[in-house]
Structure 1
Amino acid sequence: MVHSEGARAPREQRRGPVVRRQSQMQAGTTDQHLLDTRGAADWVHEDPFRVLRIQSEFVEGFGALAELPPAISVFGSARTSPGSPEYEAGEAIGRGLVEAGFAVITGGGPGAMEAANKGAMEAGGVSVGLGIELPFEQGINPYVNLGVDFRYFFVRKTMFVKYASGFVVLPGGLGTLDELFEALTLVQTKKVTRFPIVLFGTAYWQGLVDWLTHTLVAQGKAGLQDLQLFHITDDVEEAIGVVTKEAGA
């Protein structure tokens, strides 16, 4: 289209799939910014660069975990004390899962996570820790023989679900609850199939189960069948049996 001298052609700037007009236009070109070594490095903190970091985390995670044997994710509090009944249960569960032919995946931190990794490693199995960058650094515990650290929670969550055939959930805090309800939602909405979820520790979890039953379900916010999405027990062998049997179904 030809514009006369008096007509003002619309000003437009295209950078790949992005169209910028008027005040949103930027000086220079993408190649110019890439090749120019002068100026501030603020670009490493901008969203387009973050997308590349997120992509790289997915690639690294998929690459590291792609050849895992069948695995179960074990969750629980980082504050669980070594030598406590909960810690010993975590060790026994990690050991039992390996003996049943499964790798063990945890968040890689201390407490209940360390316990499950310890049981798995001492049983000669694959002990995986998926760490996360936090203000209070925890680091990967010494009982992990395959560890990956992540910047982004949602990438880490994908790895927990993609490479595990089920969850065992020991007593834990907000992070544990986050993982538990994400797993329950994925099963409820059929985003994953044959994904057993075991809550270990009746005394700890019963209050939550009662609330789900007498408030959530009673008020119609969830269905009665949703209470069948998880199994609650105090018995290590039962927990291992349920999660491995259903995972292998």
Structure 2
Amino acid sequence: MTDHRGTPPKPAHPTQRQQPLPWEHPKPTEEEVDAAARIAAITGHPAYREPDHDVDFLHREATRGVRLQLDYLKAEQGLVEHQARHSIVVFGSTRLREPETARRELANARHAAAQAPDDPALARQLRLAERRMELARYYDVGRELGRLVGMAGGGPKDSSLIVMTGGGPGGMEAANRGAYEVGAQTAGLNITLPREQYPNPYVTPGLCFQFHYFALRKLHFMKRAAAIVALPGGFGTLDELFGALTLMQTRKVPPMPVVLIGEAYWRNVFDADYLMEVGSIDPEDAQLFWYAETAAEAWSDIKTWHHSNGGKLFESEETPWTQGEAR
């Protein structure tokens, strides 16, 4: 009989026991000859896996809600751990070329067209190469903007404001690259696609997140956005841009600076004046965005807008931040 009076017993080991418990060993074969095979069948069945280790279970239709939560939470925790409070979000075409690449492609297209001047396909390739050469200057604009944001505030080590892109090539790469080149942290929100999309090499390891759902990716673009800058782009850029403008138009999120780089390009892509003329948008909606040609102009405009709005871009500024976060 154990005496529980007097000195307390020595604390038990947190994980080890002196005597094993009955379930720590399988039923012996001498008691049941088929026991081992039956236990192997039980433990080998997918139903026996812990849910978070069962990938097939996590990809069922019934667990879509859990996957949505995980798509949000993993990126959120990563951004919090890197102390990324606000972002300058840069959209832009994956097809935007570096100037040197555009020059090389143009030279090749000219050579090919000269060899077969009557070939309509080669003539079209030459026209595209010429257009891409014209647009290539915007790669440098995105790169310079990344540098300016990366050097701002407390400098490259201040991650309270970071450049955030879709993590892909082209215009996104340019902005991430500029921030990378000055030693600043920079984020990329990649997306899984039927044809694999590799991240550009300038995103900070630990700040490149791969999403399954476009909706959760869009949420993270908006959640910390202090401004949106759109380089020339196609369907993807337009999707993100108009989605953001709609949120601001409806005041689902408070308005923020939206800068379209390359006025001539964007006026050809969509006609805001016509939309106002036919009553599809109001004049105040057209004031939600404006144009810029250079990185310095865009960055200066963004800072001016925030100071006029009584907000701040950096933790070191004295004026309190007033931009609401997407809920």
Counterpart-to-counterpart distance in 2, 1:69 and 1:119: 20
Counterpart-to-counterpart distance in 1, 2:236 and 2:85: 25
Counterpart-to-counterpart distance in 1, 2:197 and 2:211: 13
Displacement of 1:35 after TM fit?
A: 8.2
Counterpart-to-counterpart distance in 1, 2:219 and 2:303: 20
Counterpart-to-counterpart distance in 2, 1:99 and 1:36: 53
Partner of 2:303: 244
Counterpart-to-counterpart distance in 2, 1:122 and 1:221: 43
Partner of 1:24: none
C-alpha contact 2:145 2:299 (8 A) present in aligned 1: yes
Displacement of 1:243 after TM fit?
A: 2.0
- Residue type matched to 2:63 in 1? F
Residues 114 and 121 of structure 1: CA distance in aligned 2, closer, same or farther (over 3 Å): same
Partner of 1:47: 61
Counterpart-to-counterpart distance in 2, 1:207 and 1:168: 18
Partner of 2:91: 75
TM-score for both structures, normalised by structure 2: 0.61
Partner of 1:93: 145
Counterpart-to-counterpart distance in 2, 1:70 and 1:42: 36
- Which of 195, 208, 219 matches 2:256? 195
Q: Tell me whether 1:156 sits opposite 2:213 in the alignment.
A: no
Matches within 5 A, 1:2-81: 36-37=47-48, 44-66=58-80, 67-81=83-97
Partner of 1:135: 194
Counterpart-to-counterpart distance in 2, 1:175 and 1:140: 16
Residues 198 and 108 of structure 1: CA distance in aligned 2, closer, same or farther (over 3 Å): same
Instruction: Give the alignment's Cα RMSD to 1 decimal.
Output: 2.1
Partner of 1:120: 179
- Residue type matched to 1:212 in 2? A
- Residue type matched to 1:109 in 2? G
Residues 46 and 247 of structure 1: CA distance in aligned 2, closer, same or farther (over 3 Å): farther
Residues 45-71 of structure 1 show CA distances to partners (whole Å, capped at 9, x for unaligned) of 433211111111111121111320431
Residues 247 and 153 of structure 1: CA distance in aligned 2, closer, same or farther (over 3 Å): farther
Displacement of 1:160 after TM fit?
A: 0.4
Displacement of 1:231 after TM fit?
A: 1.1
Bigger proportion of residues as strand: 1
C-alpha contact 1:166 1:247 (8 A) present in aligned 2: no
Q: Tell me whether 1:226 sits opposite 2:295 in the alignment.
A: no
C-alpha contact 1:103 1:128 (8 A) present in aligned 2: yes
Counterpart-to-counterpart distance in 2, 1:140 and 1:42: 26
Segment of structure 1 superposing worse, 67-76 or 165-174: 67-76
Partner of 1:212: 272
Counterpart-to-counterpart distance in 2, 1:165 and 1:56: 25
Q: Runs of 5+ in structure 1 lacking a partner?
A: 1-33
Displacement of 1:204 after TM fit?
A: 0.7
Residues 247 and 140 of structure 1: CA distance in aligned 2, closer, same or farther (over 3 Å): farther
Which 4+ runs in 1 deviate beyond 6 A?
none
Residues 178 and 118 of structure 1: CA distance in aligned 2, closer, same or farther (over 3 Å): same
TM-score for both structures, normalised by structure 1: 0.79
- Residue type matched to 1:97 in 2? V
Displacement of 1:177 after TM fit?
A: 0.2
Identity %: 42
